[in-house]
Chains A and B, each alone.
Chain A
Amino acid sequence: MSIIRRSLTSLLIALACLMSVPAMAQEDPGRELLVNLAEAPSSRVEEAINAIVDSGDERARGWLEAYGNNRLSRVKDTGQVVLVLNNRGRDWEIADPLTGENLGEMSRRKLDRVAINNAIRGKLEGIMAMLDLNAADPDVREASAADMMGKVDAALVAPLQARLEKEESAAVRDRIEAALAIYRVEQGDIEAVEVLAGSLHPRARAALNNAAASDSPQLVEAANKALASIEQKLKLNKAAETLYFGLSMGSVLVLAAIGLAITFGVMGVINMAHGELIMLGAYTTWGVQQLLPGQPGLALLLSIPAGFLVAAIAGIIIERSVIQHLKGRPLETLLATFGISLILQQLVRTVISPQNRTVVTPEWMSGSLVINDALSLTLNRLYVMAFALIVFAALMMIMRKTRLGLDVRAVTQNRAMARSMGIKATKVDILTFALGSGVAGLAGVALSQLTNVGPNLGQNYIIDSFMVVVFGGVGNLWGTLIAGLSLGTINQLLEPWAGAVLAKIIVLVFIILFIQKRPKGLFPQKGRAAEN
């Protein structure tokens, strides 16, 4: 009987438990965890935090971060724990930490901050890093593991090792192994040096450097060996980086010069206002962004055609008003277009501002492509490089495959003959000049992503552009491409030991000497085109 009664009781309890499960599910366990944290006396805080961590709740990291930032408060009346989104002014904007729902504003007098002391704050960092190590996103895990390098202490070794066994992503495993190895090297473990030998991370190097200064001769030897291999790899990466910067600078030069290669190289018109057409393109980008605030990406895409058009129209005006009257007088053309460049610069200064304007870089263009710890490529430069190549290819196609290109080549080779074949030479002049100017505008759009947009933007590029065109060989688009890329690379190669200014001077002197040796440039024109 007693057995029955006892069983009945246990059954009832079990039933009661079963009944209460749905009720518990509605009552979010997070609420209790947070209340516990808020109510815990300082000796129990750590326990409360561990409870939050052990709950495996996805929201745990956000809560702890808010806690660490003093953004966790309790409403005095209800005892509810809330997230403070904005704690400026008298009324604070708060949100429900469980649902993320915005609860509007509440007077700060009605709120009670959940207290935290510095000892806990220090530990919180490591705890959050461990939380991140358990995150679902492998990128988060990798970043967190990288952050752990050099920060591992005895307490973290065991959880890290446990994590390592579970980890699937190779990149994260490498990071955790490196983080553990740094700890072991610090403890004097020679075998761990081997692990670090492949790492390019500065903290791995720092650990090895410390090891190389230690007392144990074997450890010193191993560390030095590892350091030497790292040094080698770093040099390689450094070279790759220099090459990248060189090509990037080169592609900027190509962009700036390629329009000139059309107007100067193909048409033979010296346009000293070319730099200012670049500047117009850059200002167009700025203008389109002003028209479309908040959408820098769309604005940038739109300013590609817009920059082309603005510069092309400016080019047509210059051609019609001045250059056509100076046909066959190149030195006068040089002077007149220089005058135009002064007018355009001053126009921008007067109408817009003498100060530099900031052009926003859209999100998908900022940031960088991380190859390894020592090498990351900035995305905007990568985009500009691609853009330069596309513009170059498009120009090549226009000159080679279209009717306009055919006409241009005919008119430049033999104007009288071309005209007698029915080609309207004047129209071809206008179109060619518009094309060259428009490409300058495109260069401006690209440059706006790399440098300051100001009235002097064009001035800085005009001499370089002429150098590139002349160096590559006038009238030769391929020459311009090669010349631009190689001059950019040479400049970057010289920079580390000569400094930026001296490198530029050396390159200028080199070109001056080169032109005297080969006045027609790298790739002189041959055949009929060379006769003029």
Chain B
Amino acid sequence: MWLTRPLQERSTQLFLGILIAALAVVTVLHLAMPEDSALHVSAYTVTLLGKYLCYALLAVAVDLVWGYLGILSLGHGAFFALGGYAMGMYLMRQIGDRGTYGDPILPDFMVFLNWDSLPWYWHGFDMAWFAFAMVLLVPGALAFVFGYLAFRSRVTGVYLSIITQALTFALMLAFFRNEMGFGGNNGLTDFRDILGFNLRTDATRLGLFIATGIALAIGYVICRGIVTSKLGRVSIACRDAEARTRFLGYRVERVQLFVFVVSAMLAGVAGALYVPQVGIINPSEFSPLFSIEVVVWVALGGRATLYGAVIGALLVNYAKTVFTGVMPDAWLFALGGLFVLVTVFLPKGIAGLLQKRRKAPDNDRSNPREATA
């Protein structure tokens, strides 16, 4: 089975081992260590780590399309945010009559805007199963429609990148509008509980962190399963020589569409796990800057390695936390410099450095060619 095959790989075993060990260590340090101990991991740190893991899952999703399909998506933040909004809508409905205005059905911002009934697309989000399904379906559907149109007419390379960026930009503008019914530029916030657990307790936060870790593990295995399957081979072939693959008789656009939709769904899950942990979702997650930042995480970690994406996401976001805390002005300099340095001096990223040191041939081609052909 394609999903169990990755579990027999050494690299996947290693990745999963480290991930599970890290989850276990954090959990133990959080629960068992007394609060004044130096080894104690605070609830704040747990949530922060949970946030990083969401970003890591998003990075894996981007790496799947960029590394193995050759599509540089500058709009994956859109799928992430849509997943987040689906989760946010569920959490908003869970507030019930505990909001400032005490309306049992309408979220606060709708009362504030004098709306008298719930818009049609908000129905159903009071049920967890429906909302969680939407977390997958909404980003998936958008990716399907967008991908179907784009791949069918063979829009590739830079053009595709720019229209994905336009896509997320347009969505950002749309979600900023109050009339859209998603809280305008304030977004959705002030969440109370998820599945009956109070979001403000440490136990729920730890639970969300562990859930994110498990989601990352599953997402990684799915991606690994895809790229090592026959479909994955074809997708790598599309990346390296699209025209040739097509002449060999493969339906390139179908492969691209499948991988793109899977990637969008993973991004949606990442967003859905992100929202309860940071406690807010607003249109800034749609900003083109965020999407392109994700790409640089992947580039830093090493494209077409999957684990590199995780490393890159964790490193850059840790650096961001440190920088914005110590000297906020310098962060954009550092990020900008990172873009330049990685692309010019470190084209294979950190994973490339690791591979060079080990001098062990990887399963993948170590030198992915450009996908612009």
Question: Which positions in A face B, CB cutoff 8 Å?
Answer: 270, 322, 325-326, 328-336, 338-343, 345-347, 349-350, 463, 466-467, 470, 501-502, 504-505, 508-509, 511-513, 515-517, 519
Contact = CB atoms under 8 A, between A and B. Distances in A.
Interface in B314-373: 329, 332-333, 335-340, 342-344, 347, 370-372
Interface stretch (B46-54, B149-157, B189-197, B264-272): B149-157
B interface secondary structure, majority: helix
Given A339-B296, A346-B329, A511-B166, 7 more contacts: A331-B157, A335-B343, A338-B339, A345-B332, A350-B329, A502-B174, A515-B155
Nearest to A347: B333
Interface in B119-168: 146, 149-150, 152-155, 157-159, 161-163, 165-167
Given A334-B158, A342-B335, A505-B174, A516 B150 contact: yes
Nearest to B70: A331
B285 to A, nearest CB: 17
A501 B299 contact: no
B173 interface: yes
A463 B155 contact: no
B336 A342 contact: yes
Nearest to B72: A331
30 contacts: A326-B344, A328-B370, A330-B157, A332-B347, A334-B72, A334-B161, A335-B342, A336-B339, A339-B296, A339-B340, A340-B339, A341-B336, A342-B332, A342-B336, A343-B332, A343-B333, A343-B336, A343-B340, A345-B332, A463-B288, A470-B159, A470-B162, A470-B163, A505-B174, A508-B173, A512-B167, A516-B149, A516-B153, A517-B153, A519-B154
B177 interface: yes
Interface pairs A-B: 4 shortest CB-CB: A339-B339, A342-B336, A343-B336, A346-B332
Contact of A335 (B152, B165, B295, B370): B295
A516 B339 CA distance: 29
A340 B336 contact: yes
A333 B157 CA distance: 12
Contacts of A333: 343
A513 B72 contact: no
Contacts of B340: 322, 336, 339-340, 343
A513 B150 CA distance: 8
A347 B372 CA distance: 33
A339 B336 contact: yes
A345 B332 CA distance: 8
A423 B178 CA distance: 57
B176 interface: yes
Contacts of A470: 159, 162-163
A519 B335 contact: no
A509 B168 CA distance: 11
B177 A502 contact: yes
A347 B334 CA distance: 12
A497 to B, nearest CB: 14
A343 B337 CA distance: 7
Contacts of A343: 332-333, 336-337, 340
A335 B296 CA distance: 7
A527 to B, nearest CB: 20
B294 to A, nearest CB: 11
Contacts of A511: 163, 166
Contacts of A335: 292, 295-296, 299, 339, 342-343
A95 to B, nearest CB: 53
B170 A508 contact: yes
B169 interface: yes
A342 B339 contact: yes
A253 to B, nearest CB: 14
A340 to B, nearest CB: 6
A459 to B, nearest CB: 8
A517 to B, nearest CB: 7
A349 B329 contact: yes
Interface in B180-224: none
B158 A331 contact: yes
B162 A466 contact: yes
A106 B279 CA distance: 68
A501 B343 contact: no
A188 B176 CA distance: 53
Nearest to B167: A512
Contacts of B158: 270, 330-331, 334
A501 B288 CA distance: 17
B162 A505 contact: no
Most buried by B among A331, A513, A516: A331
Nearest to A469: B162
Nearest to A501: B173
A516 B155 contact: yes
A157 to B, nearest CB: 52
Contact of B176 (A501, A515, A519): A501
Contact of B159 (A326, A513, A519): A519
Contacts of B170: 504-505, 508-509, 512
A235 B152 CA distance: 43
Most buried by A among B157, B159, B166, B292: B166
Nearest to A329: B370
A58 to B, nearest CB: 58
Contacts of A350: 329
Contacts of B288: 463
A270 B339 CA distance: 14
A336 B338 CA distance: 9
A513 B154 CA distance: 13
Contact of A508 (B166, B329, B338): B166
B149 A513 contact: yes
Contacts of A330: 157-158, 370, 372
B286 to A, nearest CB: 12
Given A326-B343, A342-B336, A508 B169 contact: yes
B163 A332 contact: no
Contacts of B157: 330-331
Contacts of B159: 470, 515, 519
Interface in B282-304: 288, 292, 295-296, 299
Contact of B338 (A332, A339, A502): A339
A339 B169 CA distance: 18
B122 to A, nearest CB: 20
Contacts of B296: 335, 339
Contacts of B155: 515-516, 519
A346 B323 CA distance: 14
A332 B372 CA distance: 11
Contacts of B332: 342-343, 345-346, 349
Contacts of A504: 170, 173
Interface in B47-91: 72
B336 A505 contact: no
Most buried by B among A332, A338, A343, A505: A338
A346 B336 contact: yes
Contacts of B344: 322, 325-326, 336
A515 B150 CA distance: 8
A339 B177 contact: no
